[in-house]
Amino acid sequence: MIRTIALGDYISVQGIFVGRLPDGRICVRVGNNVFTGPPVSAPSGESARPAGA
């Protein structure tokens, strides 16, 4: 499953979900790199599904 995490105020990373840490952060894999950060959720009132699905 593809997930998005925030690395800063203006930087986010999308990758394959690897796991969840006890503090709520998640890990995603992009190529050979694993990044850790808080998950980015869909804006309220919007569906997480793509348009037309």
Q: In which domain, by residue range, is 26 found?
A: 2-37
Report yes or no on 51 lying in a domain: no
Task: Kindly report the pTM of this predicted structure.
Answer: 0.75
Report yes or no on 44 lying in a domain: no
β-strands 26-30, 33-37 pairing: antiparallel
The pLDDT of residue 4 is 96
Report yes or no on 47 lying in a domain: no
Q: Which residue has the tokens 């808080």?
A: 38
Report yes or no on 15 lying in a domain: yes
Q: What is the pLDDT of residues 1-53, one digit of tens each?
A: 999 999 999 999 999 999 999 999 999 999 999 999 999 986 666 555 565 65
The pLDDT of residue 49 is 59
Number of domains comprising the chain:
1
The pLDDT of residue 15 is 97
- In a 13 Å sphere around the CA of 46, the CA atoms on its Cβ side amount to 7
Report yes or no on 25 lying in a domain: yes
The pLDDT of residue 46 is 58
Report yes or no on 21 lying in a domain: yes
Report yes or no on 53 lying in a domain: no
